Amino acid sequence: MPILNQPPTRRTALKAAGAALGLAAFGKAISPLWSIPENVSTDEFLQQHYKELTDEDKRKVFERLEAETKELHGASVTISDPKPIPGVRYGYAINLSKCNGNGACMEACNKENNHHRGVDQSYIRVLEMSKGSMDMEEGNTTYDHTVPQDDKYYMPVQCQQCDNPPCVTVCPVEATWKEDDGIVVVDYNWCIGCRYCEAACPYHARRFNWEEPEIPSDEVNPDQGYLSNRIRPQGTMEKCHFCLHRTREGRLPACLEACPTGARMFGDLNDPDSDINWVLKNKRVFVLKEDLGTQPSFFYFFDS
Amino acid sequence: MSSAIAPKLSGAAAHPIRSYPKFLWWGLGQATNGGLLFYLWMFVLTAIALVGANAWAVQVANGMIVTNMTDHVSWGLYIANFTFMVGVAAGGVMMVIPAYLYHDKKMHDVVIIGEMLAIAAIVMCLLFVVADLGRPERFWHLIPGIGRFNWPMSMLTWDVIVLNGYLLLNLHICGYLLYMRFLDRQPNNWWYVPFVWASVFWAISIHTVTAFLYCGLGGRPFWNTALLAPRFLASAFVAGPAFILILFAIIQRVTGEKIDDGPRRLLINIIRVTVVVNLLMVVSEVFTEFYTGGGHTASARYLFLGLHGHNALVPWIWTAMAFNVVSAGLFLSPLVMRYSTVLIVACVLAFIGAWIEKGMGLIVPGFIPSTLHEIVEYTPSLAEWKISAGIWALGLMVLTILLKMSMAVISTSSKPAMPENL
Ligand code: SF4
Ligand code: SF4
């Protein structure tokens, strides 16, 4: 190429050698990437957003995920996709006079939702608060003394299923959204792992899968929902979903069932006879950080 | 540029479109010619970039667990660097405004340096974002049309648009002007003047949108301030020009070509204004944080004084403050105009000061204490440092190559870098 004005001199030869060497070194440097095709199949890579999947697509996806769970975790599971019940809108309330900080809810959450066992993960955090203060700065989640302490009260916090959820607003790829029954869900197969929603949530309700989850195969909960408690892939976001694979079938959330003090109330806000509506009508309830305008569906109250 | 051989392409002989790849190839050839020092420089950068590439590959294979980020501090060194580089990119076009708005001819020869800096900085920004993704292979979910783009609600989608748009704008402007010069032709105003104007507004927008990314979050009081975007801009217009001034000194050293005094003086004057504005805004913010007190102050207290015995960031922020104040003093004194060493010291201090303040000093304290007021501290892991250093090295390589390409074109052409008939 005379136009380039670079006759094949020693310099060009050296450059070519340098470039070749650089490329080879680059190939070597990124070689850890070659292990990825094993973790990410083409089907998974090309999978569309949940809302774009037809029933047939979903069937295939669920089958694939079930097979993967069998292979990776040695457990046979069924993945279902319960839909919101028309006309139902869920609410949750906690009686702070009853909660004694025993942590049974966290444990139940960990088991029910197939959390990674290494880190005692749970969607719930129970703050130990000083009596006489609503200031969370005085709260503490890492206590290991016996509970309850006399001068303390206990405040469980989990996803508040906000009506105006900042986590949904900020997600760049619509990987998280609010369903008709008020539950905010995540498509774990669409999330790109930017963690913007985690930064946006004012209630520290979101968890990121920093690690590949590990669960002993006999402890895997086989009753799984695609948008809820199936084992989440590494590098994606997850959160409390009001146990939608249970509640949409008329059962109660696992944390409520596990609570030994009866501090938890759950139900349909649209049903005048539900427990939750009884609480809203008869107790003076409040929500956390009301000033932020997130409009939680999660309420707190004290007896008396 | 002793090795620069005048291009044989000229005037009517060359096809304006078909010759473009040849122009790029020629430029690349020129850009990879140099002395021993140049090859040493590129070798060191390549080595660092390779270390970074390797660390990134390990991160993708093993997951984000190799970083020290947690659910409490979910953004760290990557996003800190990203935020800072957006500022450098925006500050890079600071010379475009005087060059075109005031028809300052002397600026025309150097304005391209600023745009090259902007290109390299945006490339780094995009790489830092990719490094921060938990599932980088799903990046296509972000592409409008085939993915699901949460526009206009998510500020992150806005950022993706403005950053890529800015990259394209600058690539077009620099590429077109240099190519025309390479062909020894007069550039057609229609083909670039509108883009130059767009790039000026765009520069402001990239940094504003990046600030909105943080200040739009009601749950994070440390970020949730209306002053964030103006503060970003002010510090960007310190850091960008400071870096260009350092580049001037290096170019002058390496090529022996004297860069006109006018642009340098103008950049110093720009910094003199923005440095004061920036300090003023920092003071206002620190005042409102500390004078009122209350729960909203927790992050600022953590950053400046430490909170409940946790004080990992305290030495950093005070270093940044000291650097900022000293560099402001130097910039405001007449010494910077007289002694180039003083100028370089002032620029380096300003640049590092802004890097700490806009990076670790802004992103990390936003997460500490967490929204439930737990204090979990964060120090970047070795992997994070390696990847970040690798991206910096790659950015400097891109910048070196771009600058060498443009200087090769300029030194083989008889025309000034910018047309004079604006
Ligand atoms: S509590 Fe947090 S995660 Fe749950 S809906 Fe509200 S903002 Fe989203
Ligand atoms: S981490 Fe996932 S769900 Fe959260 S904002 Fe990013 S893409 Fe959306």
Q: What CA–CA distance (Å, rounded) separates A7 from A1?
A: 8
Portion of chain B with pLDDT greater than 70, in percent: 93
pLDDT score for B12: 45
Average pLDDT over residues A253-279: 96
The answer to whether A206 contacts B366, with C-beta atoms less than 8 Å apart, is no
Going from the Cα of A54 to the center of ligand 1, the distance in angstroms, rounded, reads: 28
Contacts of B369 in chain A (CB under 8 A): 137
Please tell me the total number of residues recorded for chain A in this structure: 304
Q: How far is B54 from chain A (nearest CA, A)?
A: 4
Please choose, from the candidates A179, A232, A237, the residue with its C-alpha nearest in 3D space to the C-alpha of residue A206: A237
Query: Could you give the angle at the alpha carbon of B394 between the alpha carbons of B176 and A198, nearest 5°?
Result: 105
pLDDT score for B310: 93
Q: Is the pLDDT of residue B60 over 90?
A: yes
Going from the Cα of A295 to the center of ligand 1, the distance in angstroms, rounded, reads: 10
C-alpha atoms less than 13 angstroms from C-alpha of B310 in its C-beta half-sphere: 17
Q: How confident is the model at residue B6 (pLDDT cuts 50, 70, 90)?
A: very low
Going from the Cα of A113 to the center of ligand 1, the distance in angstroms, rounded, reads: 18
- Give yes or no for a contact between A206 and A60, defined as CB atoms under 8 angstroms apart: no
pLDDT score for B145: 87
Q: Mutate which of B32, B48, B62, B372 to disrupt the A interface (most A C-beta within 10 Å)?
A: B372
Residue B154 CA, closest ligand 2 atom number: 5
pLDDT, tens only, A61-82:
999 999 999 999 999 999 999 9
DSSP assignment string, A59-74? HHHHHHHHHHHHHHH-
Strands A223-225 and A78-80: parallel
Contacts of A175 in chain B (CB under 8 A): 141
**CB proximity list for A250: less than 8 A, separation 6 or greater:** none
Q: Is A244 in the pocket of ligand 1 (CB under 6 A)?
A: no
Greatest distance between any 2 Cα atoms in chain B: 74
The answer to whether A136 contacts B219, with C-beta atoms less than 8 Å apart, is no
Q: How far is A96 from chain B (nearest CA, A)?
A: 17
The answer to whether B71 contacts A207, with C-beta atoms less than 8 Å apart, is yes
- Give yes or no for a contact between A45 and A36, defined as CB atoms under 8 angstroms apart: no
pLDDT, tens only, B155-198:
999 999 999 999 999 999 889 988 988 888 888 888 888 998 89
Q: Is A200 in the pocket of ligand 2 (CB under 6 A)?
A: no
pLDDT score for B230: 94
Q: Which residue of B has its CA nearest to A291?
A: B218
A135 against B355, higher pLDDT: B355
Q: How far is B277 from chain A (nearest CA, A)?
A: 29
pLDDT score for B421: 42
Q: How far is A271 from chain B (nearest CA, A)?
A: 31
Q: How confident is the model at residue B10 (pLDDT cuts 50, 70, 90)?
A: very low
Which residues is A90 bridged to in the sheet? A268
Q: Is A197 in the pocket of ligand 2 (CB under 6 A)?
A: yes
Of B57, B69, B156, the CB nearest to A194: B156
- Assigned superfamily of B26-411: Formate dehydrogenase/DMSO reductase domain (1.20.1630.10)
Least confident of A50-54, A115-119, A249-253, B51-55: A115-119
Q: Is A161 in the pocket of ligand 1 (CB under 6 A)?
A: yes
pLDDT score for B415: 57
Peptide bond into A148 cis (omega under 30): yes
Q: Is A186 in the pocket of ligand 1 (CB under 6 A)?
A: no
Q: Is A19 in the pocket of ligand 2 (CB under 6 A)?
A: no
Q: How many helices (H) and strands (E) does chain A have?
A: 10, 11
Q: Which ligand is nearest to the CA of A125?
A: 1
pLDDT, tens only, B121-153:
999 999 999 999 999 999 999 998 899 989 899
Mean per-residue pLDDT over chain A, rounded:
92
Q: Is A49 in the pocket of ligand 2 (CB under 6 A)?
A: no
Residue nearest to atom 5 of ligand 2 (CA): A171
Which residues is A177 bridged to in the sheet? A185
- Give yes or no for a contact between B14 and B26, defined as CB atoms under 8 angstroms apart: no
Contacts of B141 in chain A (CB under 8 A): 49, 173, 175, 190, 192
Q: Is the pLDDT of residue B2 over 50?
A: no
